[in-house]
């Protein structure tokens, strides 16, 4: 029996707040100008929110209004100094990535993963934590004792095939008013137990706010930075992770779009070949359309890649096939980018 851990952060975690701001700004630019080129980075902490990166767009948006709307929706005050340090995309990059050329917006490798553990084709422990995170965000809006910041971790016993058997430690650190801890602790424990019942998973131990107290949170308790939760955003370390973050990047940037495509390919092949798990790697050179390589691995070994898949995985075709100019990226940044 193996012991293995995975983690999620709640929407109010400082890093996740920055991810959501980056993607909310991206959504606003793309809504007015689908040809916008964006790489938006956000850092927050100690009364300031610093926005930098590159944007080339015909859109005119109110950065302050969007940032404050995101903060309000998550449950934070809006009395932050907002510093706009955005520049334009490098013309050197634009040479190979404009709409006429259609090349990849960056070099690198992206991974997609699917497994037969759950109906979502994701690992059981990952789905449990995503479900808890969504519930916590909704419950916080109706329970004044719960505050936005938090994270949760499952340390589980696994079979040789990495199937979750039992949870050894369910660790939850959540921000709260510290006046109603018995009530809120029991509320969270009860929800965790009910979520796990769906998968016939028993919880041996709970670790709730192990330091004993979690009152100060968000940007008052910690700094936040876009793209610092790439493992949470992908597969909780059950699969390999590419080097690039997702949030704040328009879909011409394959860090994001090719990762989404790799996930779709993994799901397709999982079902097509009745696999237990499937992992896809796609790699690119900046400015070139077709991938340098596509590698598909599974519990049955490597799978031969048809040549037509290289054509499907050009940035233009990925954007068209997945309708990437018509989705809400802010929503994808809330609980992890792969939830179904």
Determine which one of 11, 140, 147, 229 is catalytic: 229
Determine which one of 249, 256, 261, 267 is catalytic: 249
Active site residue 13: yes
CB 12 within 8 A of CB 229: no
Active site residue 334: no
Distance CA(136)–CA(2), nearest Å, equals 29
Active site residue 229: yes
Determine which one of 255, 258, 330, 332 is catalytic: 255
Determine which one of 253, 261, 267, 334 is catalytic: 253
Active site residue 46: no
Active site residue 15: yes
Active site residue 222: yes
The CA–CA distances, whole Å, from 251 to 22, 159, 241, 314, 328 equal 14, 38, 18, 11, 12
If one counts every other C-beta atom within 10 angstroms of the C-beta of residue 255, the result is: 25
Active site residue 161: no
Active site residue 267: no
Determine which one of 23, 41, 233, 330 is catalytic: 41
Determine which one of 37, 228, 261, 334 is catalytic: 228
Determine which one of 15, 19, 27, 106 is catalytic: 15
Active site residue 16: yes
List CB contacts of 120: < 8 A, sequence separation 6 or more: 127, 339, 340
Active site residue 249: yes
Determine which one of 223, 264, 297, 331 is catalytic: 223
**HEC states along 69-114?**
HHHHHHCCCCCCEEEEEEECCCHHHHHHHCCCCCCCCCCEEEEEEE
Determine which one of 31, 35, 50, 54 is catalytic: 54
Residue 137 three-state SS: helix
Active site residue 151: yes
Residue/partner pairs of 292-296 with CB below 8 Å, 24 or more apart? 296/265, 296/266, 296/269
Active site residue 41: yes
List CB contacts of 261: < 8 A, sequence separation 6 or more: 110, 112, 282, 312, 313, 318, 321, 322
Catalytic residues: 13, 15-16, 41, 54, 151, 214, 222-223, 228-229, 249, 253, 255
């Amino acid at each position: 029996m193996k012991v293995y851990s995975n983690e999620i952060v709640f929407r109010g975690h400082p890093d996740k707040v920055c991810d959501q701001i980056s993607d909310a700004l991206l959504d606003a630019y793309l809504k007015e100008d689908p040809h916008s080129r964006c790489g938006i980075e956000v850092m927050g902490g100690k009364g300031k929110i610093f926005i930098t990166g590159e944007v080339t767009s015909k859109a005119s948006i109110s950065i302050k209004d969007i940032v404050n709307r995101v903060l309000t929706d998550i449950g934070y005050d809006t009395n932050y100094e907002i510093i706009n340090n955005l520049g334009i995309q490098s013309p050197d990059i634009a040479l190979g990535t404009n709409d006429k050329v259609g090349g990849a917006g960056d070099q690198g490798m992206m991974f997609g993963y699917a497994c037969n553990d759950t109906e979502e084709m994701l690992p059981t422990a990952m789905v449990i934590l995503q479900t808890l995170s969504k519930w916590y965000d909704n419950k916080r809006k109706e329970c004044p004792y719960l505050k936005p910041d938090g994270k949760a971790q499952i340390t589980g016993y696994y079979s040789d095939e990495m199937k979750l058997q039992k949870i050894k430690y369910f660790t939850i650190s959540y921000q709260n008013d510290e006046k109603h801890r018995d009530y809120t602790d029991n509320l969270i424990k009860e929800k965790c137990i009910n979520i796990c019942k769906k998968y016939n998973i028993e919880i041996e131990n709970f670790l709730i706010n192990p330091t004993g107290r979690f009152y100060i949170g968000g940007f008052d308790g910690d700094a936040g930075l876009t793209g610092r939760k790439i493992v949470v955003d992908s597969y909780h370390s059950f699969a390999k992770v590419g080097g690039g973050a997702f949030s704040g990047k328009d879909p011409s940037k394959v860090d994001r779009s090719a990762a989404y495509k790799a996930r779709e390919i993994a799901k397709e092949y999982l079902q097509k070949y009745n696999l237990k798990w499937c992992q896809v790697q796609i790699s690119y050179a900046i400015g070139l359309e077709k991938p340098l390589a596509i590698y598909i691995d599974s519990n049955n070994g490597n799978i031969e890649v048809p040549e037509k898949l290289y054509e499907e995985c050009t940035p233009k075709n990925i954007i068209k096939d997945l309708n990437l100019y018509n989705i809400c990226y802010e929503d994808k940044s809330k609980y992890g980018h792969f939830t179904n």
